[in-house]
Amino acid sequence: MNKIVFNSHYNMLVKFTLIFLIVSNFCIGVAGQPRYTSKSFEITSVGEDTRVSLNEEGVLQVNISPKDKLRFKSAGMVHYSDFGARGDGKTDDVTAIAATHAFANQQNLIVKADENATYFIGGKECTAVIQTDTDFGDAVFIIDDTKVQNRNAPVFMVSSRMQQFVPEGITSLKKNQEKLNILLPGPCLITVINNNIKRYIRLGLNQNNGSPQTDVFMVDKDGNVDRNAPIIWDFDQITSISALPLDTDTLHITGGRFTTIANNEESKYTYYDRNIEIRRSNVIVDGLEHHIIGEGDHGAPYGGFINISDCAFVTVKHTLFAGHKTYNTIGAAGKPVSMGSYDIIVNRALNVSFINCSQINDINDRTYWGVLGSNYSKNLLYDRCILSRFDAHMGVANATIRNSTLGHMGINAIGSGILVVENSTINGRSLINLRSDYGSTWQGEFLIRNCVFVPQDGKPASAALIGGTNTGQHDFGYTCYMPERIIIENLRINDSNHPDDYQGPAIFSNFNPQMTDSSYYEKFPYVKTREVVLKNITTASGRSLRISDNPFMFKNVKIITE
């Protein structure tokens, strides 16, 4: 067995030195967290000792003895203990963990955690970059966030080997454009931005001036746009465009029981990203658990323990998440506001699926924030999930929720395309809530079938299937739409617990109490639903489904009963 030596000043430079620079990765979070760029690292193979160090500049320096190098390559895998990890739950093992992955990435080796190990990860800024299959097994990882050097530095970053580049010759795009006149090395994820147009101009306690028009879509090597993830905006001008080739092989991350010791910082929008960030396409995460301890009466929010961004075809399955405690702060409007704090974030990502995932906390416990937040994404899926919330902040194009149970925060969405909810139980305030802070907009259709709706998780409530607010007085940076067509089949509404003046469930909540006659003027007209198709709707209260508390606003909606 070769001796493992740690030396904080180890800096041997030899002719066999291989230097790997990790390119920038993007973390565009719900509250606009800054981008994080991981530090460089340096690998050598000389001498009799395998050594690992992290210098004062944050550069990870790894020396593997030639004997160890041959042994690891012959085995086809490495363990964290091979690079000095103690796994005793007390020694900070983050440097050894990062070194293990750095070497595995270089040699294309599998990484395996040691059996029955407990790895302590302190506040040191040192990100482990994952580019090969990783089996966390039954190991425990304790992530201490009580004192960190950089709250934006992820613990693990699943990174692509592909290099991002700027495709030439594209100066404009049209909504639903089917082809780009370019040739590419293979299928690519295209990200395009126009900084001169602002969308999602938020209204309410977290009001803001909007975000640059952004779109993400896939094209094949001939420039054909994937029709399942279409271009959703016109781009008369492009200020930024990038292409990232999709990884064609699938990377697997399995197992692992992670526990975050929560930060106790001031309750304000200083998001913590001490997490697993996925910046690579074609990834499967299977069997992971995340727990949280140490939450007190205050703390900074979290930007997702699993944070999926700038990639496509990511599946998370058989995974256990944890809701974060809700803290309050003063919002942009100068008034108290609850801060979103997430265990799952999906940003600028396509075809992301959550299968057979659940939550440690009670999904109807209102002291915990909803588990998911997403922006600029397309084709999101929940299947066989038990989670407190599905949410699309700055838009989703196409989403499906099936065979699932959603808790007190229910389904909150704005976006476009088709939203499918089937074979599911929803416990929110409404069956689907169209987020009012972004104009309660959905340009497309809803398909709801074989579902159960339990308003307010059975608390006294006046039930409404589609919730939202839009007064027509605020410019959100786009025309706001209600779903053009809503199809509801085989819905059971458990509304037995209701107020005394309850008139029965409504299809639509009162989106604008001021719009009671034709004299009301919408400065920014809100496009109403064209038709609603209803089939086999039953209620526990015995009361019939009606259109709304504000029938005038929906007087032109065609109701078809089958």
Q: Is the pLDDT of residue 412 over 60?
A: yes
Query: Average pLDDT of the chain?
Result: 92
Query: Can you tell me the distance from the alpha carbon of 305 to that of 29, in angstroms, rounded to the nearest whole number?
Result: 12
Tokens of 132: 């090969």
Segment 507-530, tens digit of pLDDT: 999 999 999 999 999 999 999 999
Tokens of 34: 């800054």
Q: In one letter, which amino acid is 214?
A: T
Segment 441-457, tens digit of pLDDT: 999 999 999 999 999 99
Q: What was the pLDDT predicted at 14?
A: 30
Is the dihedral angle over the CA atoms 224, 227, 230, 231 positive or is it negative?
positive
Q: What was the pLDDT predicted at 9?
A: 31
Cβ atoms of 329 and 336 within 8 Å: the answer is yes
Q: What was the pLDDT predicted at 22?
A: 30
Q: Can you tell me the mean pLDDT for 237-253?
A: 97
* Sequence-distant (≥ 6) Cβ neighbours of residue 378 within 8 angstroms: 216, 217, 228, 229, 350, 351, 396, 397, 398, 417
Q: Can you tell me the mean pLDDT for 208-218?
A: 98
Q: Is the pLDDT of residue 25 over 90?
A: no
Segment (H or E) for 204: none
Q: Can you tell me the mean pLDDT for 194-212?
A: 97
Q: Is the pLDDT of residue 35 over 70?
A: no
* Sequence-distant (≥ 6) Cβ neighbours of residue 468 within 8 angstroms: 433, 434, 435, 436, 440, 482, 509, 511
Q: What percent of the chain has pLDDT over 70?
A: 93
Q: Can you tell me the mean pLDDT for 479-489?
A: 98
Q: What was the pLDDT predicted at 39?
A: 64
Q: What was the pLDDT predicted at 11?
A: 33
Q: Is the pLDDT of residue 28 over 80?
A: no
Tokens of 448: 């709801």
- Among 12-21, 274-283, 349-358, 518-527, the least confident range: 12-21
What SS3 class is residue 281? coil
- Give the DSSP letter string of 58-116: --EEEE--HHHHHHHHHHTEEEGGGGT---EEEEE-HHHHHHHHHHHHHHT-EEEPPTT
Q: Is the pLDDT of residue 38 over 70?
A: no
Q: Is the pLDDT of residue 16 over 80?
A: no
Q: In one letter, which amino acid is 381?
A: L
Q: Is the pLDDT of residue 21 over 50?
A: no
pLDDT-based confidence at 72, cuts 50/70/90? very high
Q: Can you tell me the mean pLDDT for 472-482?
A: 98
pLDDT-based confidence at 364, cuts 50/70/90? very high
Segment 88-135, tens digit of pLDDT: 999 999 999 999 999 999 999 999 999 999 999 999 999 999 999 999
For residue 212, give Cα distances in angstroms to 11, 40, 98, 238, 439. Answer: 44, 30, 35, 11, 17
Segment 221-233, tens digit of pLDDT: 999 999 999 999 9
Show me where the domains of the chain are located. Answer: 162-246, 414-562
Q: Is the pLDDT of residue 32 over 60?
A: no
Q: Is the pLDDT of residue 5 over 90?
A: no
Q: Is the pLDDT of residue 239 over 70?
A: yes
Q: Is the pLDDT of residue 546 over 50?
A: yes
Q: Can you tell me the mean pLDDT for 464-475?
A: 98
Segment 259-268, tens digit of pLDDT: 999 999 999 9
Segment 280-306, tens digit of pLDDT: 999 999 999 999 999 999 999 999 999
pTM: 0.92
